[in-house]
Amino acid sequence: KMNVIFFLLLGAAAAAALDDKIVGGYQCEAHSQPWQVSLNIGYHFCGGSLVNDQWIISAAHCWQNPYSQIAILGENHIWMHEGTEQFMAVDAIYWHESYDYQTFDYDIMLMKLAHPVAINEFVKPVALPKACPTPGDMCMVSGWGNIYTDQVFNPFYLQCVEVPILSNKECENSYPGMITERMVCAGYLEGGKDACQGDSGGPLLCNGELQGIVSWGQGCAQPNYPGVYTKICALMPWINEILSRYS
């Protein structure tokens, strides 16, 4: 009996500690997600993914004036200079012309960096999808999560969590009438593992391809409310058009 109570208390403590970053995840192995970007306006506010040496993909709802922000690549500990970081100015941002800030449909933007990054073991682009993901595929979400907490000066390493792609039916059942063809759900219907505020814009990586952008959800890691991601495979024509027109 005592044992069980002890574990429950431990579980509660762990849940509280993870509340404001990726929920139910773990500290990523350093630089294991070399495409991960931190978008920064004096503090980290959103994630992103490097798709080639001069372009980042993120969520349209993460839009900020390009000149007021920097993109940081090669980052692991968000408060410590480790010598692996590249601090990049943002030249231009193209968000989807059909983006709807109320429904989060077409929640995607492409950010052109002022200069190409130096590709190395800490900074590498991620592959874009050749096909859509299959329900049941295991995927990795990474991010630094919300830093508006009382633990703002604590060590803040990149967090990772693995979640499965859910079927359209499961996604629809969780969010009736709110899921469009540009959205895909990933997570566990029993809850417990999810992205959270501040992970927005970051990668959902499945089988080595970027299949999703952290977009929205009801709370974080709540039962029956999986994370909703922008479905990149459905937006490849737009992505390719922007990249070819403005590169």
Q: Which residues are catalytic?
A: 61, 107, 200
Query: Which residues pair with residue 149 across a beta bridge?
Result: none
Paired residues of 71 in beta bridges: 39, 88
Task: Report residue 47: phi and psi, to 5°.
Answer: -100, 175
Report the b/e string of 180-195 with b at 16+ CB within 10 A. bebbbbbbbeebebbb
For residue 243, count other CB atoms closer than 10 A to its CB: 18
Cα gap 86→118, rounded to integer Å = 8
206 with 133: CB under 8 angstroms? yes
Tell me the C-alpha distance between 164 and 188, whole Å: 7
Residue 34 CB burial class (10 angstroms; 0-12, 13-18, ≥19) = middle
Residue 9 CA: distances (Å) to CA of 13, 14, 88, 191, 223: 6, 9, 43, 18, 20
Half-sphere exposure of 212 (CA within 13 A, CB side): 32
CB atoms inside a 10 Å sphere around CB 40: 18
